[in-house]
């Protein structure tokens, strides 16, 4: 129940003295202040960022007494709530434990995978293992290296392009799709269990740890950011409905999100189609885009679509559009281009974790609505970007992948921005 502000009415006693009137007034009590929960972690917040976040909580939380529907907060996951990438961590664990199943056809795993990549994977991983059975990637470094080259470099070990064709660059990335397609054949529950094993290993490893996967050096640790765990918990206590919206596969996020108090119902990630209880290479669509092979992900404009569809129940083509203020998150946080659309949609606060990602940082530093908050990474922050961000010429990624100027809502162009928070 919302607290109502109460005032004590001033009373007046009138007395007639010697033909005159004397007025005696009682004191007026001060209004009873509303109490919103307070952020507890101060270390790691740049400048007055913590105070800005607290002000936003005090103004928009249901603790403020403002009334109305519960405000929504949306967070990206990898490198926003945690340091490093849980998709990378899980894939590394699976490769080291022989959990990737050989597909019947590498070419069929991903619609954009090139013939060169399919041939390289077939040659490196062989055909002696029956389709649907585990590849011996813990010992077969050629196979492991080829998988990692295709995924992380988007090239074969021989330097040929791994993905080609056309796709909407504001809705998907072929390599992001492909890593989820490597999980095909497992049940969602099994994939969550693998992510949980990777979680234990990566949380136990010291900060800065590298692991060897095949012959590749790979990040070997993950950490929850104490600042973000505190922020999420404080938002929840203040009455915000807090969601994770990640470009990692949703079964992976389910293994990690409870560590910051987020349940399954508040977790949105890439959702591969399930057939006979097992994950397939198909991917759920969004809005007016039907189930696909990955043409739409929780990526860039796709994150807006999934937020509109799953949280605000906006259906069809309208889910791709920015909604009215009552049907948008009050607060959002992210670290990269994949997050720029939904973070920009927030009405009360936008938190940008600075990883030197151009489109996000251009909008954050431009600060058109005076509600952007820029913070360095809480662990191993990036150094200052020497050159200004090319916002006015090459900051915006068009659907066809070409770059152009970033425009504000009023149509004006954002000028190049210097990197000042690092």
Q: Is the same domain home to 239 and 345?
A: yes
Q: How far apart are CA 307 and CA 133, in angstroms?
A: 36
Of 176, 198, 219, the one marking the end of a domain is 219
In the predicted structure, residue 17 carries a pLDDT above the cut 70: no
pLDDT at residue number 68:
83
Angle at CA of residue 265, ends 219 and 76, nearest 5°: 35
Q: Would you say how long the chain is, in residues? A: 422
- Tell the residue number behind the tokens 């190049």, with chain if given: 416
pLDDT-based confidence at 333, cuts 50/70/90?
A: very high
For residues 203, 207, 211, 217, the Cα torsion angle rounded to the nearest 10 degrees is: 140
The bridge status of strand 72-75 relative to strand 241-249 is parallel
**DSSP code per residue over 248-259:** EEHHHHHHHGGG
Domain tally, the chain: 2
pTM: 0.91
| pLDDT of amino acid 30 | 40
Query: 349-354 and 72-75: which strand pairing?
Result: unpaired
- Do 164 and 188 lie in one domain? The reply is yes
Res. 10: pLDDT tops 90: no
3-class DSSP assignment, residue 188: helix
Write down the mean pLDDT value for the chain: 93
Q: Are residues 265 and 170 in the same domain?
A: no
> CA-CA distance, 18 to 79, in Å (whole number)?
79
Q: Is residue 319 within 8 Å of 327, Cβ to Cβ?
A: no
Residue 79: count other Cβ atoms within 10 Å of its Cβ. 21
Evaluate whether 131 touches 125 at the Cβ level (below 8 Å): no
Confidence grade of residue 34 (pLDDT, cut at 50, 70, 90): low
Nearest Cα to Cα of residue 70 among 80, 79, 60, 78: 60
The pLDDT of residue 2 is: 39
pLDDT band at 206 (very low <50, low <70, confident <90, very high): very high
Claim to verify: residue 252 and residue 378 sit in the same structural domain? yes
User: Are 65 and 167 in a shared domain?
Assistant: no
Assess if residue 7 is contained within a domain: no
Is the domain of 179 the same as that of 194? yes
Kindly state whether residues 375 and 262 are assigned to the same domain: yes
pLDDT of residue 35: 84
* Non-local CB neighbours of 12 within 8 Å, separated by 6+ positions: 23, 24, 25, 26
In a domain, 287, yes or no: yes
Which residue has better confidence, 63 or 351?
351
Convert the pLDDT of each residue in 54-110 to its tens digit.
999 999 998 888 778 899 999 999 999 999 999 999 999 999 999 999 999 999 999
Whole-angstrom CA distances from 40 to 34, 260, 317, 344 are 18, 15, 41, 26
pLDDT tens by residue, 243-254: 999 999 999 999
- We report the CATH number of the domain holding residue 309 as 3.40.50.1000
- Concatenated DSSP letters for 107-138? GGG-TTB-HHHHHHHHHHH-S-SPTTSB--TT
Consecutive H or E run containing 75: strand 72-75
Q: What is the pLDDT of residues 389-399, one digit of tens each?
A: 999 999 999 99
Helices (H), 126-225: 141-148, 174-181, 188-204
Helices then strands, each counted (H, E), the chain: 12, 16
- pLDDT score of 8: 31
Quick check: 3 pLDDT over 70? no
Give residue 66's pLDDT.
75
**Residue indicated by tokens 């009415």:** 9
Same domain, yes or no: 153 and 295:
no
Query: Do 263 and 374 belong to one domain?
Result: yes
| Residue entry with tokens 């470099």 | 153
Question: 97 and 79, same structural domain?
Answer: no
| Strand pairing report for 396-397 and 216-219 | unpaired
Q: In the predicted model, what is the mean pLDDT of residues 213-236?
A: 98
Taking residues 271-287, what's their average pLDDT? 98
Domain that holds residue 315: 49-83+226-390
Distance, CA of 206 to CA of 212 (rounded, Å): 15
pLDDT band at 1 (very low <50, low <70, confident <90, very high): very low
């Amino acid at each position: 129940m919302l607290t109502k502000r109460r005032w004590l009415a001033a009373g007046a006693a009138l007395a007639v003295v010697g033909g005159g009137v004397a007025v005696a007034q009682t004191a007026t009590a001060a209004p009873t202040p509303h109490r919103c929960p307070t952020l507890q972690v101060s270390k790691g917040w740049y400048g007055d960022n913590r105070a800005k976040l607290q002000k936003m909580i005090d103004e928009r939380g249901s603790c403020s007494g403002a009334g109305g529907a519960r405000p929504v907060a949306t967070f990206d996951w990898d490198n926003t709530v945690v340091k490093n990438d849980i998709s990378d961590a899980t894939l590394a664990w699976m490769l080291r434990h022989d959990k990737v199943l050989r597909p019947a056809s590498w070419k069929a795993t991903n619609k954009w995978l090139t013939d060169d990549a399919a041939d390289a994977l077939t040659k490196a991983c062989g055909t002696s293992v029956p389709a649907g059975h585990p590849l011996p990637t813990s010992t077969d470094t050629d196979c492991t290296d080829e998988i990692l080259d295709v995924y992380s470099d988007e090239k074969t070990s021989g330097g040929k392009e791994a993905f080609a064709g056309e796709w909407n660059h504001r809705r998907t990335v072929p390599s992001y799709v492909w890593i989820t397609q490597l999980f095909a054949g497992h049940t969602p529950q099994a994939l969550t269990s693998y992510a949980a094993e990777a979680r234990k290993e990566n949380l136990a490893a010291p900060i800065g740890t590298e692991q060897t996967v095949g012959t590749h050096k790979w990040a070997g640790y993950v950490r929850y950011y104490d600042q973000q765990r505190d922020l999420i918990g404080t938002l929840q206590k203040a009455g915000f409905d807090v969601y994770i919206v990640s470009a990692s596969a949703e079964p992976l996020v389910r293994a990690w999100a409870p560590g910051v108090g987020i349940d399954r119902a508040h977790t949105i990630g890439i959702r591969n189609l399930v057939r006979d209880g097992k994950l397939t290479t198909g991917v759920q669509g969004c809005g007016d885009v039907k189930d696909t092979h990955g043409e739409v992900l929780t990526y860039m404009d796709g994150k807006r679509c999934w937020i509109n569809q799953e949280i605000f129940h906006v259906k069809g083509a309208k889910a791709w559009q920015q909604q009215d203020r009552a049907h948008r998150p009050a607060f959002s946080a992210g670290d990269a281009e994949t997050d720029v659309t939904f973070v920009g949609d927030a009405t009360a606060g936008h938190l940008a974790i600075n990883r030197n990602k151009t489109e996000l940082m251009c909008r954050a530093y431009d600060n058109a609505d005076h509600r952007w908050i820029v913070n360095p990474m809480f662990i191993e922050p990036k150094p200052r970007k020497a050159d200004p961000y090319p916002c006015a010429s090459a900051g915006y990624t068009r659907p066809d992948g070409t770059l152009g100027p970033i425009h504000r809502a009023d149509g004006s162009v954002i000028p190049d921005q210097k990197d000042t928070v690092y």
